[in-house]
Amino acid sequence: MIKVGIIGATGYTGCELVRILLCHDEAQLVALSAKDRLDEELAEIYPNFRGMIKSKVEKLDIEGMASKVDVVFTALPHGVSMEVVPDLLAKGIKVIDLGADYRFKNLTAYEKWYNIHQSPNLLDKTVYGLPELHRDTVKQSNLVGNPGCYPTSIILALAPLLRNKWIDVNSIIADSKSGVSGAGCSPSEGSHYISCNESIKAYKVAAHRHTAEIEEQLSDIASEEVIITFTPHLVPMNRGILSTLYANLNKDANLESIHQYYQDFYQQEEFVRILPIGKMPETKYVRGSNYCDIGMTVDSRTKRVIVVSAIDNLVKGASGQAVQNMNLMFGLPENMGLKMPGLYP
């Protein structure tokens, strides 16, 4: 059994990690820590776990946790993970960071969009944990930077087009809509019920931090610099991200050929589902699952391709993908603990 610790266990991604790992045949939760709700049973904080787990939330003790775990998930805000990850790695513990601190190779990009990095020497050792594109390196890594939710939905949707040089890399527009859980569980004015119910709004227009992560990964895929226009929106639902991507075609291509290329590109990927021509993704069909659904069309009038993707921001966009990475790091079947369909209705 893989002995697992979670730092940041009381947040939404920490809670989702617990939900998934409780159903994992080869994982045992042995340490849960957070900065609040200390000494409370997790099942008291999240009653959906009643009768399933008796573990209490403990104050973080790196020495104590390292003595009993094989892997740690750090479900922490950016700037906080880097305070604990180096010590965990030094003690021989594998780490999967769900924050932004270890998603970048480019230190300048990280510090421009976030803050000063305290362990830049580790950036060359981290692997960007999008299994569909970096599976082999994830398997060999001790430190995985788990992708952000918006980036996951956008990168998976655009990767085939960029790899095959089908689109003008300077024409990409990403329009994404997320449920409120993407803002985390800490109360804020923007996520207050009265602020977001019966409303939809764009936020951090041309200034969202995920832009840098998306551009770094898309540039790597395209083998040239990619700069996008990215606009996120908040919609009044709990879970889910729907991303609609627009790009100008730089060579003649019909919908059938593009669709076939997507099918071939992802044919071995269990968690990416290419929908039939004429069908478009909806968040309700991936809710609670680790799937990314992708649909597309070609607008012959404007010579643009339009790709739509849907994920659950807390699963494929965070905790499910993190468990997918854990499975790869420990030589387990990649789908272990993740073979659940979406929740419907």
Domain boundaries, the chain: 2-125, 150-313
- Residue 339 reports pLDDT greater than 90: yes
What would the pLDDT profile of 145-202 be if each residue is shown by its tens digit?
999 999 999 999 999 999 999 999 999 999 999 999 887 777 677 777 888 899 999 9
Helix 149-163 vs helix 210-222: crossing angle, to nearest 10: 20
Could you tell me what percent of the chain has a pLDDT over 70? 99
Q: 249: pLDDT confidence band, cut at 50, 70 and 90?
A: very high
Look at residue 292 in the predicted model and tell me its pLDDT.
98
pLDDT average, residue stretch 70-90: 96
The hierarchical CATH code for the domain 2-125 is: 3.40.50.720
CATH architecture of 150-313: 2-Layer Sandwich (3.30)
pLDDT average, residue stretch 304-333: 98
Distance CA 185, CA 345 (A): 24
Q: Answer yes or no: are the C-beta atoms of 76 and 52 closer than 8 Å.
A: no
Which segments of the chain are extended strands (E)?
Answer: 2-7, 27-33, 71-74, 94-97, 127-128, 143-145, 173-178, 201-202, 229-234, 241-248, 272-274, 292-299, 304-311
pLDDT average, residue stretch 311-332: 98
Look at residue 259 in the predicted model and tell me its pLDDT.
98
Q: 324: pLDDT confidence band, cut at 50, 70 and 90?
A: very high
What is the C-alpha end-to-end distance of the chain, expressed in Å? 34
CA nearest to 133, candidates 123, 150, 147: 147
Task: List active site positions.
Answer: 149
- Residue 233 reports pLDDT greater than 80: yes
Using the 8-state DSSP alphabet, how is residue 31 labeled?
E
Quickly list H helices, the chain: 12-21, 42-45, 62-66, 85-90, 107-113, 131-140, 149-163, 193-196, 210-222, 255-265, 320-329
Distance CA 277, CA 217 (A): 27
Determine how many CB atoms are found less than 10 A away from the CB of residue 252.
Answer: 9
